């Protein structure tokens, strides 16, 4: 069974351009995050104290929870209304960091799972390096959509997940920027994963992870997906401007920032997310009101709140995600369903608030 795990390790390493030995397989990206967010990091075999964790306000909950850091040692860095981390505030936070107590650790995701906004990781990296800190990058959403090579990211620790790229659930990875910089193990016991992650590996899931990364979409496929996303947004604007409609114009969150090609997060004032989701479901269309990690729960997004979006508008927010199999016909079907929703809301045949 070992050969299947090592083959998957090689496949993932080739995909993100790093030595295979830098890939530590875990059960999920959440587990990888909890391992990476460690107050103790081994640097060239010597333990280094990390005294404070700085996280952007739009991170995934597994990052916001702080891993193994005490709550008092976690600081949230705000984002701009564009969804981009406030680099000036990050610089200020690290400038006042007490280096005598230990090094700082900064966690900023590559791309947001709700809005698709892509963070300026290279600029974040420069700030972190200037203050001799460690950088953790959640690249789960970016893998297969934008450049996630270790050279491009330049992070100390990168988090990945199999099922977000079409692989099976039950496999994730913590990728090291350098084999000489390793967080203290989260799970101790056996010598699996080079003594970095004890416990019998999930061979089937890890094997599937390797197969999935070899089948990631090509650049031209992502360009096609981006065109479909743009057609949806154009269609939403057109429908909102139709004569006689009473709903507001669509607001696209993060539209002035670089975004993933497959994601649009929008809201139309007057059409609550609950109302829209029910109607879309009846039309056979799957959508969400936020992160897939909160599917089935309609609640205000912490991401939109961090971007300064009002509670009223956030309650109308929907996320549409596309994939390699998406077609323009799917976009047209969604827009037809949305047009019906707007007409019903405009005629007040269904409640505009729940």
How far apart, in whole angstroms, are the C-alpha atoms of residue 118 and residue 152? Answer: 14
List Cβ<8 Å contacts ≥24 apart for 296-300: 298/273, 298/274
Cβ atoms < 10 Å from Cβ of 92:
12
Of 265, 328, 28, give the one whose Cα is nearest residue 168: 28
Of 342, 317, 319, give the one whose Cα is nearest residue 247: 342
How far apart, in whole angstroms, are the C-alpha atoms of residue 239 and residue 59? Answer: 33
How far apart, in whole angstroms, are the C-alpha atoms of residue 47 and residue 184? Answer: 9
How far apart, in whole angstroms, are the C-alpha atoms of residue 185 and residue 188? Answer: 6
- Please state the φ and ψ torsions of residue 105, each to the nearest 5 degrees: -125, 135
Residue 18 bears catalytic tag: no
Question: Residue 337 corresponds to which tokens in the numbers above?
Answer: 């369903």
Question: Residue 264 corresponds to which tokens in the numbers above?
Answer: 């649009």
How far apart, in whole angstroms, are the C-alpha atoms of residue 171 and residue 28? Answer: 5
Token look-up 């070899």 returns 214
Kindly name the residue from 18, 265, 293, 316 that is annotated as catalytic: 293
Cβ atoms < 10 Å from Cβ of 99:
12
Helix residue ranges, H only, the chain: 2-16, 29-36, 61-64, 87-95, 121-130, 150-153, 192-195, 203-214, 219-240, 273-282, 302-306, 311-314, 328-346
Residue 183 pairs in a beta bridge with 41
Pairing of strands 74-77, 263-268: unpaired
Question: Residue 240 corresponds to which tokens in the numbers above?
Answer: 């909102």
How far apart, in whole angstroms, are the C-alpha atoms of residue 331 and residue 270? Answer: 22
Residues designated as active site? 293
């Amino acid at each position: 069974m070992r050969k299947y795990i090592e083959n998957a390790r090689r496949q993932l390493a080739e995909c993100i351009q790093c030595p295979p030995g830098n890939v530590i397989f875990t059960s999920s990206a959440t587990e990888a995050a909890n391992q990476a967010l460690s107050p103790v990091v081994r640097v060239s075999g010597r333990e280094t104290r990390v005294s404070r964790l700085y996280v952007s306000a739009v991170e995934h909950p597994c990052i916001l929870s702080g891993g193994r850091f005490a709550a008092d040692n976690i600081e949230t860095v705000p984002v701009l209304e564009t969804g981009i981390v406030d680099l000036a505030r990050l610089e200020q936070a690290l400038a006042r960091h007490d280096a005598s107590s230990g090094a700082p650790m900064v966690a900023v995701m590559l791309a947001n799972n709700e809005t698709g906004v892509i963070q300026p990781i290279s600029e974040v990296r420069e700030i972190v390096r200037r203050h001799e800190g460690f950088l953790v990058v959640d690249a789960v959403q970016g893998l297969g959509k934008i450049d996630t090579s270790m050279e491009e990211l330049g992070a100390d620790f990168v988090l990945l997940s199999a099922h977000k790229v079409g692989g099976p659930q039950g496999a994730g990875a913590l990728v090291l920027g350098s084999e000489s910089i390793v967080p203290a193990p989260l799970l101790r016991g056996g010598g699996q994963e080079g003594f970095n992650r004890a416990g019998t590996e999930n061979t089937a899931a890890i094997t599937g992870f390797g197969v999935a990364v070899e089948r990631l979409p090509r650049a031209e496929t992502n360009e096609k997906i981006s065109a479909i996303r743009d057609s949806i947004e154009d269609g939403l604007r057109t429908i909102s401007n139709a004569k006689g409609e009473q709903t507001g114009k669509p607001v696209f969150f993060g539209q002035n920032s670089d975004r993933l090609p497959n994601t649009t997060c929008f809201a139309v004032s007057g059409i609550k997310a609950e109302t829209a989701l029910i109607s879309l479901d009846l039309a056979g269309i799957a959508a969400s009101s936020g992160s897939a990690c909160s599917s089935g729960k309609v609640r205000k997004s912490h991401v939109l709140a961090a971007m300064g979006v009002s509670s009223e508008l956030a309650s109308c927010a929907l996320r549409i995600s596309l994939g390699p199999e998406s077609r323009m016909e799917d976009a047209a079907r969604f827009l037809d369903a949305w047009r019906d929703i707007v007409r019903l809301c405009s005629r007040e045949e269904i409640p505009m608030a729940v």
